[in-house]
Chains A and B, each alone.
Chain A
Amino acid sequence: MENQFFVDSEYLTPEALAKKHRLETDPSFRRNHMEYLPKMEIIESDVCANVMAQMNSYDYSKYTAADVKAALEHDNCTIEDFKALLSPAAEPFLEQMAQRARLETGKHFGNTVYLFTPLYIANYCENYCVYCGFNCYNHIKRMKLSMEQIEKEMKVIADSGMEEILILTGESRGQSNVEYIGEACKLARKYFRMVGLEIYPVNTDEYRYLHECGADYVTVFQETYDTEKYEQLHLLGHKRVWPYRFDAQERALRGGMRGVAFSALLGLADFRKDALASALHVYYLQRKYPHAEMSLSCPRLRPIINNDKINPLDVHEKQLCQVLCAYRIFLPYVGITVSSRESAEFRNGIVKIAATKVSAGVSTGIGDHESKYSGKETDEIQGDEQFEIDDSRSLDKMYEDISEEGLQPVLNDYLYV
């Protein structure tokens, strides 16, 4: 079973439709995804080669129950141990893995769970990524918030008690340029203790500028580390350039950001290989930049507007849990974020095992916080969502639920210095 991603909107012109179809069916019509575009900075780094060598040689079918048991007995989890923990042979050991993961999480994070919320400020996008609700051929309500609108949204969110915000945009330099995002960061510094960014990858000097504007964390999802699969899923736009995206975190750290976050979108390709590559991306960068704070997410594919059939295929909750436990055992010091794509039950369970950060009061739409938070009807235009969320708990509810699990919800553990 594969996902059927292609959906034709009736609003597309015949020319646009023809181009879309040709992109979908004719690989020779698509740009070389491994080639940088003009103005994309190229940095010297061996991280990518290290990650890809490990991933390409990873044959998870060769690992046995004995390898998994040995991995669980070792004090320090090696790359080989991690490969065993990600393999199908580890599935029967899920409970033992969870026990070990919980121990490691406790050692490094105690009982704390951090809370944050995303704020989408624009959903214009220049890319055709076939699984994403924001893709340029998908007919959705597009919107870009003005600074006044952004401030209004931030006030609503800050009033709910939230202290950490993650600012997101669709990937369009044309509609949401770096200065626009920088101004949003400056505003966010007024209302929040911590400001993170999840935007299109930029050059080092631009990351430095955004850092000076108040952002200190950069999240870039690689989506998949399988370059061939990536080529088939990202058919048009800047995002199609795979290596520029891969080096984004390293450029962000060179630009002065305190921390960076990583992820593959599970369900796009072979999830075991993608999980291996995501964690090794963290591992090798941490060795090179030991001061940096690192975190991993583990999103699975979700339905989008105009395509409610999209699903994460073979990555069921058990597999997701296995990946998260393996991450925790291999990288006990990294933050692990679990988003509202997952159900409340799953998130309640996983914060006791491996996750250290969850979102609350989430909207992936544009300019709709007031109506979503207060239930107030509004005449104002709102932009459509990137994907459907599952867990829609408010901050108060999330705070209460986490406390009831005997954990400590934390709204801020950060200083901009």
Chain B
Amino acid sequence: MNNDKLIIAGHEFNSRFILGSGKYSMKLIEAAVKDAGAEIITLAVRRANTREQESILDYIPEGITLLPNTSGARNAEEAVRIARLARELGCGNFIKIEIMRDSKYLLPDNQETIKATEILAKEGFVVMPYMYPDLNVARDLVNAGAASVMPLASPIGSNKGLATKEFIQILVDEIDLPIIVDAGIGRPSQACEAMEMGAAAIMANTALATAGDLPMMASAFKNAIEAGRKAYLAGLGRVLTRGASASDPLTGFLRD
């Protein structure tokens, strides 16, 4: 287990819980990071672009990798501009691409996401695209230079869990990059289930933001994600999905 690292573009992480920061008080960020054991935290560039005395950046503990996102972008061109701004703001090389042309469900625009991934990967960004789970798009993202693929479980903020389960499983099975399940995970049990399926990591925000005790919920997610990962490594997926082996072989009647 100790050697089980999440590797994104050569960067190693022990934690498989990526923490969102957009919907709760900055003062809770530090506690959440600690109790979640998180090593990556997302940050909306549009939120960081503030003159506020207490910048959100001040609350990110040392040693944490910032994953700025391009929320607010409506097409590839805008996402590219926001990513470059993130770099200028000192947010590092990681970038989570979020491109939405829909203000109601905030569903990602896969086509534009591929375009932005290609441009930003060439510019040396570690590109982590948020996408609707479509195998062909995931392959295009791999070819465009993505460092991971981040399919949505259900609409952002919906807390509806793994509505796209079958399609995420296909990505897990077919794509060699880490598959990080993002959006819609409302409960630790859902995070656990995604990890059992072979997801490389989980990203959550609203589920924590709307919890009564945010740090405690962060810790619950941490445990669930670790449990799901262990189950996956222990081979649960094989038992559940491919069936246990029968004690009497079905093919025992066959002669040499």
Query: A residues within 8 Å of B by Cβ?
Result: 106-112, 161, 163, 193, 286, 290-294, 333, 403, 406-408, 410-415, 417
Contact = CB atoms under 8 A, between A and B. Distances in A.
A208 to B, nearest CB: 16
Contacts of A411: 50-52
Interface string B191-206: 0000000000000011
B157 interface: yes
B51 A110 contact: no
B52 A412 contact: yes
B209 to A, nearest CB: 4
24 contacts: A106-B206, A106-B210, A110-B24, A110-B206, A110-B209, A111-B24, A111-B25, A112-B22, A163-B50, A193-B50, A286-B103, A290-B102, A291-B74, A291-B103, A292-B103, A333-B104, A406-B25, A408-B25, A412-B46, A412-B50, A412-B51, A413-B44, A413-B46, A417-B72
Interface in B95-145: 100-106
A112 to B, nearest CB: 6
Contacts of B102: 290-291
B52 A107 contact: no
A291 B74 CA distance: 7
Given A161-B52, A163-B52, A408 B157 contact: no
Contacts, number: 85
Contacts of A108: 157
A308 B52 CA distance: 39
B53 A417 contact: no
Which 6 A-B residue pairings sit nearest by Cβ, starting from the closest?
Answer: A110-B23, A110-B209, A417-B78, A106-B210, A408-B25, A415-B46
B158 interface: yes
B14 interface: no
Interface residues of B, number: 35
B18 to A, nearest CB: 17
Given A163-B52, A412-B46, A417 B81 contact: yes
B45 interface: yes
Contact of A412 (B49, B103, B106): B49
Contact of A333 (B44, B82, B101, B103): B103
Given A291-B74, A417-B73, A417-B82, A412 B101 contact: no
A162 B26 CA distance: 18
Interface string B6-48: 0000000000000000111110000000000000000011110
Contacts of A407: 25
A109 B23 contact: yes
A417 to B, nearest CB: 4
B85 interface: yes
Select the residue from A110, A111, A163, A333 with max chain B CB neighbours within 10 A.
A110
B101 A106 contact: no
A403 B24 CA distance: 11
A101 to B, nearest CB: 14
B23 A415 contact: no
Nearest to B205: A110
Contacts of A291: 74, 100-103
B159 interface: yes
A258 to B, nearest CB: 8
Contacts of B25: 111, 403, 406-408
A102 to B, nearest CB: 10
A377 B22 CA distance: 42
Nearest to A191: B51
A111 B44 CA distance: 16
